[in-house]
Every structure is written in C-alpha cells, then in structure tokens.
Structure 1
Amino acid sequence: MERRDFTKAVGGIVTTTAFGGATLLASSGGATATAGSTIDNPSAVTSDDGEISYVSVQSTGRLQWDGFDKAAKKARILTYVTLRQDGSAVWGENLIHDTGVFELSSSWGGSGEEVSLAGDHESGQSGYIASDIDWGIAQENRENNYNDGYGLPNNPAPVSPFTADGDGAQEQTKVVLQSVYILYDGNESELTEQSGYPARPEASSSFVVTVNNEESSTSFGDADGEGDTEDSAEVGV
C-alpha cells in the first residue's frame, strides 16, 4: 500500500493526502500505545451532474507501544468511516476494512508496511507497526475500481451521499476516518483493554469534501465547426 504525497481534485474524483501526526494516546500504568495521522481538506470538485466516482485517501498510519509485560505477537486493525452533513450522520460509523488477526513479523505486509519489535526480555514488549494506505474509501457502487481495482478496503463507503443534487447546487460532507488497533499475545489473547495494559489505541482524522453541480448553460457564437461556411450575404439579380 504505497503512499503518494499530493492532493488533487479533478472532475468526479476527490483525493486527499495525510501530512503529519495527530496522536491519540492510550495508557495504563507503564504500558502505552499511540497511533495517529492528519488529513487535509481536498480542493472542491465540480462535475456536470454533481456526482463523484470515488474519494481516496493516501495516509501514513503508525502504531507504537512500550512497557508491555507480555510481548505483543499479533495484531488486528479495524478501519471505520462516518459521513456527516450539517452535523448529522448520513452514513453512520461503518466498518470498511478488517485486516483480521495477523502475525507481527518482518514478513508482514507489502510496500509501505513494516513491523519492528523490541523489548528488554522478549521481542514484542515494545515496537511499532507502520502501515501506509492508498485506498478509495468511498467508491461508486461500493466496488473497488480505484487504483486499478486494488482490493482494499474490502467494504468501501458509497459515493451517493456526496452528490450535489440540483443544477448549481453544492454539497459539503465531513468524512471521519478512524482506525482501531488491537494487540494480542502469541496465544491470540488480547492484551489491549486488559488490566495493566492500554485501551485499544485509535487514530482518527476528518476532512471535508465539497462537490459542486455545474450550472447548465447555452451560448451562441460565430464559429463554424466544420470550417466550410463563410459568414457572408449575397444578393442575386
């Protein structure tokens, strides 16, 4: 999952990029875990019918933990999206991707993904998970057509709530993207949420998507599209 450092808005496409580290901290005693990312608002887009094809996000995710008595050997990441308009949810907090439980090892993940484990007595008492994403978090027909059909997330949000209905209309939608991290020991018993360990760390970012429905218009001109007619008048006798 490669990161692309740019922001663009063209036609029926909205793309936004994460820059930096808003962090949420979960702690209990000496054990801590942090995760976070920040996403800027993309530029407004305009389409003929006020519809868009997808909303994509390029973001760097990172979870760090330290001070665990038991070593973390496995993890799971749950990603949710909420769409809000005028302060109300139009598409409630919905799970768009679940990694399932995976081993924390150097072989995990693809491009932009990395696991590093450390500890005073056992590898995994501290460490981090780095996970870059380039996802179409909302897609037309909720199908993975973004990024050449790349299969993540496995349950994207719909694009219909972003539609600006009516000629010349504008719709603004706040997108809340949330990732929840769960850490397990080698027996797949959860460590987070347990006594002496932090709560499940959460990384939450939000941004506003603005979609304009281009106002219809007509015009006249003196250009000859085929190039075979002169603008002239003739009188015959």
Structure 2
Amino acid sequence: MNVVILEDESRAASHLARLIGKIAPEMKVIATFDTVRDAVSFSQQGHSIALIFADVQLADGLSFELFRQVPLQCPIIFTTAYDHYAIEAFKTNGIDYLLKPIEEERLEQAIEKAKQFSPSLALEKIMLMATSGTGRSYKSRFMVKAADKIRSIPLEEINAFYSMEKASFIHTLDKRNYCIDYSLDQLENLLDPVRCFRINRKYIVTMLACRNILVWSNSRLKLKIDGLEDDDIIVAREKVQDFKIWLDS
C-alpha cells in the first residue's frame, strides 16, 4: 500500500511518517519530496500510489501544481499550517484538510476516509482482515427461539441481518425470520468481514444474499432477497465502491 509525502520540512515529514506507521502499519511511505519538481518527475514514472499526504507550500511552489501537471487518481490528504487553501484543495482529489500541528485522531479519521475513497486501500483492508494472524474468531452461529423450541442457526443458512422497530432479526435461506439479541452495530464487529457486509444502517448481508443485484438510482445498488419485500435493501451510495470490491474479493 504505497504512500507518498509532500513536505518541505524534514522534521514534519518524519513526524507524519511515524504517525502513519502507527495508525496504518499496512501503509508504506515509498517517497518523500520537498519540491513540486521532484514530485512531478516521480509521478510521471508510473509508480503505483494509493494515497498522497501533501503540504500545500513546498520549497519551489504550491503542491497544487503537481496535480495540474499529472492526472493522479489517488486521494489526497492535505497537511498545512494555513486554512485559506481549503477551497483549492478540494478542487483536486482532496478528501481531507488537516491543519498543523497534526493531531493523531484527526489523521486517523482522514486515513479511514481515504480507505473509503480508494479501491486499492479498501481491498487491502479486506484482505488484511482475511489473512491476519491475530487468531480472532468470528461468530458463526446464532441461537434463536422458534415457537417453544430453541435452534442454533449457522451463518451458512443466513443471507441477511436487519433491524426493524428497534429490534434485530436474521433472515434465512428458507425465508424465515428470527429475532436476535444483538444490534447491527454489535453484529458488525462480531461477523467475519470477508463473509458479511453492512450495506446501510438497516442491513448487513452475507454473500448468499448477493445473487440478484439491480442498478438503482443515484449510483446505488439494490438487492432482491427472496422472502424480504423491504424497499430499503439498498447499498448506500458511499458504500457502493467498497461493496463491489467485497463482492470481487
């Protein structure tokens, strides 16, 4: 996951690199430049860059000149001591504007925002979850009450989790619905992100639910799930790109 820093103060560049390594160890700072000229030369060589951290004022001019000369597609997080460049910053691929001194919490928020913007970062995040050696186990079964009986339903039989009227439910492949004692926010942390995806505030779906996907209005996607007639099974617009990457991973 290649990252480039544009910063004309060496101490500031080193501090930023340390923070990036702490917050997102999967990121690799492959280059740091203090001039627009060197950054342009590097960018024109076709390197794979997932994210750029850019101070506005470099040693030989404003970093905006780089983005005018080289049509980069990656997101940019601007880091500067001046607030009057913000409008210009967001005319590029700028997705956040951090004022110095940079706070760790704000930097972490900006990096998370960049992961939503960038397909390459989002994919790597999913793969990291899938292959991490932490030994973390995810919830694979849910105990439910069915009439006067208790059942344990494996994830392999579930195609969706949803909320309705302040309660949460699972929807199974045989078109049955069961109430469960978990909120969707809790489920999002309990379920394997390789197998489950939260498409909006009301729904978490499994791969089993993704057999009939329609292109919907405003660049969104709509899922048709057997047994559920809800019109809200729609992938939120800000989640569409990550959802497509999840489907393809």
TM-score by length of 1: 0.23
Higher strand fraction (1 or 2): 1
**Structure having the higher Rg:** 1
Higher relative contact order (CA 8 A, sep 6+): 1
TM-score by length of 2: 0.22
